[in-house]
Amino acid sequence: MKAKRVNFYATSHDLHEILREAQIKNELFGLRAGSHSSNEVQITRHLREIKGFNDPCPADSAQAPRYLVWMESCNISYRRLETASGEVRYIADPTNNPDAILLQPGGRYAPQILIAGELSSTSEAKAAKTLFAHIKKIIEANFKKIKSYYIGPEAMQILAKGGRLTSSAKAPQEYDLAKPS
């Protein structure tokens, strides 16, 4: 399976506009990917309603939360995992959910620092391919491409004013996405 990725920088407003447009054609659902204490996790039609979706982004994109996103027809499965302490956890990830894609929104770490986000899929399932292509097309139409990143309109304003677009706020600024000359 070849991974498909779209890397981007977006404020919460930029990303909400993309998701709003994506939901015009398909009813989308989502939940926070990862480990849960129950397999009764809140599933929502609006990602911004998921607890933590609008929280400030961590300083590093590797620490940022990821969300499974799928179309209405998808049923989410959880992997049951018993920890060394005997606690049972339920894992929601693409492994058992081939119709879902992953969204790591990135976002604002500080007023003038945006952390990179990513839309990705490793699935060959038709539903995942269709959803990934649909959201990718909306991003390409509404964001400006600089190097390998798509930049949302508000993110472009931050970059134009000398703000940082980076994968890690702790990394030296020389690794940030540079403003085009």
Domain count, the chain: 1
Query: For residue 179, is pLDDT > 90?
Result: no
Q: What is the pLDDT of residue 51?
A: 62
Residue type, 149: Y
What average pLDDT does range 77-82 have in this prediction? Answer: 90
Among 49-63, 68-82, 98-112, name the one with the lowest average pLDDT: 49-63
Q: Kindly indicate the confidence band of residue 1, based on its pLDDT and cuts at 50, 70 and 90.
A: low
Q: What band does 30 get if pLDDT is binned at 50, 70 and 90?
A: confident
Instruction: Share the mean pLDDT of the chain.
Output: 89
Residue 95 counted as domain residue: yes
**What percentage of the chain carries pLDDT values higher than 70?**
93
Q: Is the pTM of this model over 0.75?
A: yes
Contacts of 80 (CB under 8 A, 6+ apart): 39, 88, 89, 90, 91
Is residue 35 a part of any domain in this protein?
yes
Do the domain assignments include residue 134? yes
Encode pLDDT of 90-119 as tens digits: 999 988 899 999 999 999 999 999 999 999
Does residue 180 lie in a domain region? Answer: no
| Phi, psi dihedral angles at 48 (to 5 degrees) | -65, -15
Residue 159's domain spans which residues? 4-175
Helix (H, G, I), strand (E, B) or coil at 171: coil
Reply yes or no on whether the pLDDT at 54 is more than 70. Answer: no
Query: Is 126 within the bounds of a domain?
Result: yes
